[in-house]
Structure 1
């Protein structure tokens, strides 16, 4: 996908269907064939363990990545860093982590977590700080309220493979933590949440962290392919950089979205770029007919339209 277009992920069916254990592998291969960036393996009650599922499916695929859900309070951050480092090493870096603050995030109420809401985000802050340092190859001493680590360091970590950290949540505590620690803030779509609502949240947080990216989870993709593409395009214009899409737990849905919706979305984005480039003033240092008068630094894949729309930022590919 072009550099200034959004990343697309596919939501894995992880309900543990014992009658058809081969379905996740078929969905994974279909999503890879359709060109999705990664598969989202969520964490939660009634779901297959995301680490085991992602590890199995990595053996059934070649290129597609895995957005693995992990609970900040379930294991120590040093063990979590070891798990993540092993996965990225043996899969060639096909890993992203969605860090859940506690309980089950936006989908379910918290279960068995004794901490209050803001305390859970305080714990997640400490876990993400330790996790980032360890995955980046640093030795760390950390004494927090919830996490204490002394002299921790991964042995020969695969630091050539960066692991983006995702964080969801709609509260003020979630926003604060996303702006401080996350690479990507994961938003969960709600019927009453319009593209304008998303744009306001994006603008507010991007003022605090210009490098922060935004992903939107859409639990259903419209059967009307043109309408689905227009819906995604509207959220792109609101500043969304990535989408976690889903349909029925069927390989055909991943293929259908990849073959029918994605090309329509690309066409809408290309049309928008063409319109904005056509009306943009000539860059500084150009003469008659646009001939260059001086040499200016140019970032590959960054157009005037992508600069204004905010669709091309760090990590965009």
Structure 2
């Protein structure tokens, strides 16, 4: 089980849907979160992309030198930059970070945003462009290890004598991650990517999606890994966690929710449609927004994309994660508000309750002593609870 955290390049807050309690999205804050994630034992961090965010590549590059093991899941946007340029950027980042780059392929589902960036293709055409983009991108990076050139003739993209002089550290290229719920998106995943990502739907929906994508990949002779994107609200008791969920929405008004839902409804993203269907754009209470035990759809009232959170005690959150893991989910990409404090809270409360991977990282030999000395003479024992 691998656990990632999130760099909030669109800003951070204590209360969703309002500027009250908001924090500046600046380098010092991003660095604090990245260093915390690195030292706490998170596998990596996701950096979001889009016009509401600082540029993911620039931010991730600025964080290479302040971290040691942390991996960076950074977005490429097919159609926004050429596949050859994106491949060169990936190779450079991978070398400078000594192999710590992962690629998040984001085709996009907000037509207004895409047109503002100069992309006017419809939904299915965007995925055909993505298919050609990834064909060229993968070939450029693979060929760079042998000094070969790349020729490609597609309906939307071309390459003639394309060449990368400096290959990436990872072979044949940094791993590709991708999420999308439409049939066109699932075909892209089956053909190109290494890890398929789903947003945090209830386990039965996630199980069905995994089966569909896995079958498409098998038909092409490929095997995929699977990950899930969730928020998390964990406290020492269940009651405290649900109280924190209520506080997160306590400042948002109905007009803000209505505007957000209207904007989401104009998107042509199947994943966004599925997220919105989980809460219906209304409701504030736990009874209305808890769509599955410990799975809360409140974030999606005002936030696009990932809209659900695991809410509960450390034992409950760990148990729900293991339930998803048993379906085939190998990686959890998590976030919480505010992101700095929540990174520590999750690491301290949940990591010790997760199997294998994370436990080994945080229980590595340490220099000490750690914690207060009891009576000035001996160290307290680690709690076995």
CA contact (8 A) 1:12 1:249 kept: no
The 5-angstrom pairing of residues 241-252 of structure 1 reads: 241-252=330-341
How far, CA to CA, are the matches of 2:94 and 2:27 in structure 1? 25
Mean CA deviation greater in 206-215 or 24-33: 206-215
The alpha-carbon deviation at position 109 of structure 1 amounts to 6.5
Q: 2:225 aligns with which of 213, 223, 227?
A: 213
CA contact (8 A) 2:187 2:216 kept: no
Q: Which residue of 2 aligns with 1:185?
A: 196
Q: 2:344 aligns with which of 233, 250, 255?
A: 255
How far, CA to CA, are the matches of 1:119 and 1:35 in structure 2? 40
Q: Which residue of 1 aligns with 2:374?
A: none
The 5-angstrom pairing of residues 54-93 of structure 1 reads: 54-93=60-99
CA contact (8 A) 2:139 2:150 kept: yes
CA change 1:170–1:184 in 2 (3 A) is same
Q: Which residue of 2 aligns with 1:198?
A: 206
How far, CA to CA, are the matches of 2:99 and 2:344 in structure 1? 24
How far, CA to CA, are the matches of 2:24 and 2:216 in structure 1? 46
Mean CA deviation greater in 116-125 or 127-136: 127-136
Number of residue equivalences: 260
Structure 2 alignment gaps of length 5 or more = 12-22, 236-312, 360-385
How far, CA to CA, are the matches of 1:76 and 1:213 in structure 2? 27
CA contact (8 A) 1:187 1:216 kept: yes
CA contact (8 A) 2:228 2:333 kept: yes
CA contact (8 A) 1:28 1:57 kept: yes
How far, CA to CA, are the matches of 2:9 and 2:170 in structure 1? 30
Aligned to 2:104, the other structure's residue is in SS state strand
How far, CA to CA, are the matches of 1:160 and 1:197 in structure 2? 33
Q: Which residue of 1 aligns with 2:40?
A: 34
Mean CA deviation greater in 207-216 or 144-153: 207-216
CA RMSD between the two structures: 2.3
How far, CA to CA, are the matches of 2:333 and 2:196 in structure 1? 12
The 5-angstrom pairing of residues 297-312 of structure 1 reads: none
Q: Which residue of 2 aligns with 1:290?
A: none
CA change 1:19–1:11 in 2 (3 A) is closer
CA change 1:92–1:21 in 2 (3 A) is closer
How far, CA to CA, are the matches of 1:39 and 1:19 in structure 2? 16
The alpha-carbon deviation at position 7 of structure 1 amounts to 1.7
How far, CA to CA, are the matches of 1:155 and 1:27 in structure 2? 34
How far, CA to CA, are the matches of 1:168 and 1:244 in structure 2? 12
How far, CA to CA, are the matches of 2:231 and 2:225 in structure 1? 20
Structure 1 alignment gaps of length 5 or more = 1-5, 271-317
The 5-angstrom pairing of residues 1-317 of structure 1 reads: 6-15=1-10, 18=24, 21-103=27-109, 110-112=114-116, 113-136=119-142, 137=144, 138-161=148-171, 162-189=173-200, 193-210=201-218, 211-223=223-235, 224-266=313-355
Aligned to 2:152, the other structure's residue is in SS state strand
Mean CA deviation greater in 83-92 or 257-266: 257-266
Mean CA deviation greater in 38-47 or 153-162: 153-162
Residue deviations 1:135-186, cap 9 Å, x none? 2225211011111101111003125454011111111111111011111111
CA contact (8 A) 2:36 2:343 kept: yes
CA contact (8 A) 1:216 1:240 kept: yes
CA contact (8 A) 1:97 1:164 kept: yes
TM (normalized to structure 2)? 0.63
Residue deviations 1:46-104, cap 9 Å, x none? 21100110011111111101000121111100000010010001110110011111355
The alpha-carbon deviation at position 20 of structure 1 amounts to 5.2
How far, CA to CA, are the matches of 1:200 and 1:103 in structure 2? 22
Q: Which residue of 2 aligns with 1:274?
A: none
